[in-house]
């Protein structure tokens, strides 16, 4: 189940013009007009609905990435909060990889995991569910190890010996310098799209929703003039919340 972003433009601007703008601003997406699919009935009397989504998915975009971090009051606060959480987790992984008994812990964990997986193949009914729950709990408790193994465990040969190492310090620097570059670049692209659209019409709307089988709907509405638009207006946009940006 993926999220999808809708771009809603008045019908007074022809579809071909909107699609051309979207192709120029979002060159790696696949824009299309989906009005005929009744994706958002509340606005379709006077608007056309467009999507711009590679493989029909907009998960991880500026509108959908931070909907569970609503306790932050600004983008600046949210960046600090998310960065600190990621950096602390990376430091914890680094400490794990540098433990003197890391290999022993890793091998014991993999052995136990293998035993549970084999047991799942042998049992049925209620016992299967019990073993499955045990395996899920085990995986959760050792999740940090699996992440360390799959993402950060590196190997070097020193004096003929295989030495485990890591590049966590580089990863921490990357979080501090580049973690949010993509999101802020995406906001700049949205501003370009909005500014070009508002040269031809008085407003443009945005809405994001989960593609869970039901059509999207308008749960709440927010309004802002272009001159007052901020990155937070997209960062804090909720599912099925309709954001309308008016020309100044």
Q: How much is the mean pLDDT over the chain?
A: 89
pLDDT score, position 68: 58
- pLDDT exceeds 60 at position 69: no
pLDDT (average), residues 21-38: 82
pTM of the prediction? 0.73
Question: Which of 20-24, 28-32, 136-140 shows the lowest mean pLDDT across its residues?
Answer: 28-32
Please tell me which residue, 163 or 19, carries the higher pLDDT value: 19
Count of positions (residues) in the chain? 248
């Amino acid at each position: 189940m993926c999220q999808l972003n809708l771009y809603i433009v008045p019908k007074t601007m022809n579809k071909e013009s909107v699609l051309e703008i979207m192709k120029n601003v979002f060159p790696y997406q696949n824009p299309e007009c989906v009005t005929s699919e009744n994706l958002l009935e509340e606005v379709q009397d006077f608007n056309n609905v467009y999507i711009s989504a590679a493989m029909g998915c907009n998960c991880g975009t500026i509108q959908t990435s931070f909907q569970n971090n609503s306790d932050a009051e600004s983008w600046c606060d949210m960046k600090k909060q998310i960065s600190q959480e990621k950096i602390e987790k990376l430091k914890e992984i680094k400490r794990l990889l540098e433990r003197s008994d890391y290999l022993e812990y890793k091998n014991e964990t993999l052995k136990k995991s293998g035993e549970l997986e084999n047991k799942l193949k042998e049992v049925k009914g209620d016992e299967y569910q019990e073993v499955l729950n045990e395996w899920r709990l085990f995986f959760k408790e050792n999740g940090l190890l699996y992440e360390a193994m799959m993402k950060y465990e590196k190997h070097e040969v020193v004096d003929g010996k295989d030495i485990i190492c890591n590049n966590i310090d580089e990863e921490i620097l990357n979080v501090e310098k580049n973690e949010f570059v993509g999101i802020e670049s995406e906001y700049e692209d949205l501003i370009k799209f909005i500014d070009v659209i508002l040269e031809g019409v008085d407003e443009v709307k945005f809405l994001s929703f989960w593609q869970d089988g039901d059509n999207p709907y308008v749960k709440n509405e927010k309004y802002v003039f272009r001159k007052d638009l901020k990155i937070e207006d997209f960062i804090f946009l909720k599912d099925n919340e309709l954001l309308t940006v008016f020309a100044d």
